[in-house]
């Protein structure tokens, strides 16, 4: 299939086959000018390929992805998204004294990738674009997990959904039925959440270490350019070897200092500084994962055994304690403790104190999600909490938790060598 058109679009392609999985890699160049013929050509390519193969399209498209208001950008993005293809680069790739544009890109229908740019001095464009794909042959056993997509866009969709919710089901339930009110609220909220934040399948078979993101500063960019030039020179003339080694040491020193600043920033800006500190230590040391530890047997039976072990461990410990006589002279309290009704502002204040975490409990809803939409759920939340205080009922769903056994040391087949970690529906509990 010949697709190149002189002075309009130039295309070359190769097919890569690994195991049983094939991918098509295309390189495209579109000169600046009229874009309609280019869009028609690209649509023909996507129509033929996107449904059958994994594709990666690289090239200079001369369409600035950073100019969201330009008609060519809008048509380009709409065409790509309609075929499930995503532009992976959204930062300047060509920088002049007066402009910063993103006209080079890597497009793909892969869902799992890491893409970015790094500076170079090999062309009139200022950066080189890279993409790392999680490529797995279908012959390889896969271990998938599913996570909700939570970002600025999906949270904005959630807020739009909640604006249309009137919570009629809650007001119709008798005030004393707090459990039923909470179940109705959570069911409606969860339905909107699942619609706005869809599940994404993530392959954990070869979970790679996340790269430390460092934005290059001017000193690093200049030193890297000098280093690249000396590397080229020393390839042809060994007299440049010492100069290259000297600049390489300078460059390594700059990177070390920059790493220190990045780690320092992560710790200082974190809500949980202690946790961030230890995470940085693990990143630097490359701590081994414990995910390889697996208990043999039926998973459901193992879960049942762990549940029995953790629920009876405290009672067994108490039974082993010797009886100690206990006396006290504390007078019985006869005064009544009365809870007053709370206001929406108090609920809002309690929510604002939640840490910006993405961890969640059984319902899959994190602090971050609740904080982003709290202003749209204040009325039903306040109503349910006041009924809870009036009738002395705490919703049953908020008493449930997901328990994960964490291996500590010793024989991995002994349940006493595991520590339980509880994941409550903690965000809602903190507000309550």
Domains of the chain: 10-133 (3.60.10.10), 144-207+292-320+335-431 (no CATH), 218-285 (no CATH)
Which two tokens mark 195?
Answer: 């619609």
Average pLDDT over residues 99-109: 90
How many CB atoms are located within 10 Å of the residue 400 CB? Answer: 12
277 close to 285: Cβ distance less than 8 angstroms: no
Burial classification of residue 279, based on how many CB atoms lie within 10 Å of its CB (0-12 exposed, 13-18 middle, 19 or more buried): middle
From the list 203, 199, 190, the residue with the least C-alpha distance to 147 is 199
Examine the pLDDT at 122 and tell me if it is beyond 80.
no
Q: State how far the Cα of 188 lies from the Cα of 373, in Å rounded to an integer.
A: 14
**Residue 170's pLDDT is what?**
93
pLDDT of residue 183: 92
Instruction: Evaluate if residue 83 carries a pLDDT over 60.
Output: yes
pLDDT top residue among 425 and 153: 153
pLDDT for 427: 65
Tokens representing residue 387 in the block: 């009924």
Of all residues in the chain, the percent with pLDDT exceeding 70 is 88
Instruction: Identify the CA nearest to 86 among candidates 114, 62, 124, 67.
Output: 114
Helices (H) and strands (E) in the chain, counts: 13, 13
pLDDT (tens digit per residue) in 215-251 = 788 888 899 888 888 888 887 788 988 998 999 999 9
What is the band of 163 on the pLDDT scale with cuts at 50, 70, 90?
very high
Average pLDDT, the chain: 83
Sequential DSSP letters for 313-347: HHHHHHHHSPP------PPPP-S---PPPP-HHHH
Residue with tokens 């009544």: 336
DSSP 3-17: --BTTTBEEEEEEEE
Backbone Cα Rg of the chain: 29
pLDDT(142) > 60: no
Identify whether the C-beta of residue 337 lies closer than 8 Å to the C-beta of residue 349: no
Region 388-416: mean pLDDT is 85
For residues 256 and 208, the model is more confident at 256
pLDDT digits over 336-352, tens only?
A: 878 889 999 999 998 88
Beta bridge partners of 13: 26
Against a cut of 0.75, is the pTM above it? no
pLDDT at 159: 94
Tokens 């600049």 label which residue? 247
């Amino acid at each position: 299939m010949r697709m190149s058109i002189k002075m309009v679009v130039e295309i070359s392609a190769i097919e890569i086959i690994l195991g049983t999985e094939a991918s098509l890699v295309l390189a495209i160049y579109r000169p600046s000018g009229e874009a309609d013929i280019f869009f028609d050509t690209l649509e023909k390519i996507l129509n033929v390929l996107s449904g059958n193969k994994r594709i990666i399209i690289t090239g200079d498209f001369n369409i600035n992805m950073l100019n969201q208001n330009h008609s060519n950008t809008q048509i380009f993005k709409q065409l790509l998204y309609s075929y499930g293809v995503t532009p992976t680069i959204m930062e300047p790739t060509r920088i002049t004294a007066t402009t910063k544009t993103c006209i080079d890109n890597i497009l793909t229908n892969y869902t799992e990738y890491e893409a970015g740019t790094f500076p170079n001095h090999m062309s009139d464009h200022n950066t080189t674009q890279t993409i790392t794909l999680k490529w797995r042959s279908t012959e390889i056993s896969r271990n998938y997990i599913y996570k909700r997509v939570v970002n600025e866009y999906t949270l904005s969709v959630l807020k739009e959904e909640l604006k249309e919710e009137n919570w009629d089901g809650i007001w119709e339930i008798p005030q004393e039925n707090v459990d039923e009110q909470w179940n109705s609220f959570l069911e409606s909220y969860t339905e909107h959440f699942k619609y706005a934040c869809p599940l994404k399948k993530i392959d954990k078979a070869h979970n790679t270490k996340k790269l430390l993101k460092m934005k290059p500063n001017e000193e690093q960019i200049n030193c890297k350019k000098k280093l690249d030039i000396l590397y080229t020179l020393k390839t042809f003339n060994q007299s440049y070897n010492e100069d290259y080694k000297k600049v390489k040491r300078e460059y390594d020193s700059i990177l070390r200092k920059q790493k220190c600043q990045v780690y320092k920033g992560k710790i200082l800006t974190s809500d949980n500084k202690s946790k961030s500190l230890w995470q940085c230590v693990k990143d630097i040391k490359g701590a081994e994962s414990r995910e390889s530890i697996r208990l043999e047997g039926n998973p459901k039976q193992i879960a049942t055994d762990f549940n029995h072990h953790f629920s009876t461990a405290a009672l067994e410990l108490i039974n082993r304690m010797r009886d100690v006589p206990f006396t006290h002279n504390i007078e019985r309290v006869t005064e009544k403790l009365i809870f007053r009704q709370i206001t929406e502002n108090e609920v809002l204040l309690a929510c604002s104190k939640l840490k910006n975490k993405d961890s969640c409990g059984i319902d899959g809803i994190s602090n971050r999600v609740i904080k982003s939409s709290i202003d749209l759920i204040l009325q039903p939340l306040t109503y349910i909490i006041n009924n809870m205080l009036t009738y002395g009922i705490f919703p049953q769903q908020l008493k449930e938790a997901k328990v994960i056994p964490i291996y500590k040391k010793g024989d991995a087949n002994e349940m006493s060598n595991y520590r339980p970690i509880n994941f409550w529906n903690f965000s809602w509990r903190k507000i309550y």
